[in-house]
Amino acid sequence: MRRWLVQTAVLFGVLFGVVVGGRLVLNQLLQHPAPRAVEAQERITTPATTAIPVAPSPTPLATVTLPDDRAAGLTRPTPPPARSTPSPTPTLPPHGQTAPVPILMYHYIRPKPANDPLGAALSVDPETFAAQMDWLAAHGYTTLTLHELAEVRAGKIGLPPKPIVLTFDDGYRDFYTAAWPVLKRHGFKATIFIITGVVGNPQYMTWDMLRELDRSGLVEVGGHTVHHLDLTQLNASALEHEVADCKQTLETQLGHPIASFAYPAGRFNETVVSAVQRAGFTLAVTTKPGWARATDPPLVLPRVRIQGDLSLAGFADILGS
């Protein structure tokens, strides 16, 4: 009996120990899961877009997830913006007449006549003329036609460096034979004023000569009336004929609009200027001395007369050199 009691007590102790020990082990497992269970739990709870660690960089980089990487849970560093040197703002030439422009006035390019004082004053011998053009080229002048000067004044093109306008009145044939070869050699531009009623006469250029000059791209043809009369002394009808018919004849012969005009002997008044404007001329020159300024009315621009006895030093002095 006594042995039975002892055996029963031992068996009960063992069972009690198993139960208590099992509970302790179970609590330990719940509080401290096995490493593999932790790894499985992290796979389930970690989002698919977890960033892959990037090695430290001196400059912090932002990250961006690309469409192809999103499914793989990858992100890539955004490259820093490339350094670039800003392009300089181009400097455009200013438009409009920003400085006074000398408009030179020539008539004959021929040897001086012996017994014609007036003709001698209007005549520049070919050698002197060539020396003047050589001087302009050597000193960097840029020639314009009057039409181009009108474009400058209207703000359509810029004023070139050291601008100058060369004009020749009356349409004498010596322009074609003596002045034109020199101008062409330098690539210089000029404006010639034509008296339409005398075209083809022995002293004057022909229509074929004028067409050749007009097509060259260097010579502008302008109007100088039909008969070279004093416009201030004409009645309204005669004035209209001298101005408008001159323009119409030139346009018919040359096939394009004519923009520039020169008053015969430089004589004009308000009535004459109005007739020139009605005819459609946009720029007109006088014989008033001076350089053309931006503030001068476009239909009464002054000019610089080149006398036949002017020395090369005097020519340079006129242009301020």
- Please report, for the domain that includes residue 237, its CATH number: 3.20.20.370
Residue 118: pLDDT band with limits 50, 70, 90: confident
pLDDT score, position 136: 98
135 belongs to a structural domain = yes
45 belongs to a structural domain = no
Which residues are bridge partners to 261 per DSSP? 223, 284
Q: How far apart are the first and last CA of the chain?
A: 150
Residue 96: pLDDT band with limits 50, 70, 90: confident
pLDDT score, position 10: 42
pTM here?
0.71
pLDDT score, position 152: 95
Count of structural domains, the chain: 1
Among 287, 157, 274, 166, smallest CA distance to 222 is for 166
pLDDT higher at 114 or 265 = 265
Mean pLDDT of 16-30: 42
246 belongs to a structural domain = yes
115 belongs to a structural domain = yes
pLDDT higher at 194 or 78 = 194
CA distances from 185 to 64, 66, 134, 173, 179 (A): 68, 68, 10, 18, 10
Mean pLDDT, the chain, integer: 81
On the question of pLDDT at 267 being above 90, the answer is yes
Domain of residue 211: give its range: 103-318
On the question of pLDDT at 295 being above 90, the answer is yes
149 belongs to a structural domain = yes
On the question of pLDDT at 146 being above 90, the answer is yes
Percent of the chain with pLDDT over 70: 70
221 belongs to a structural domain = yes
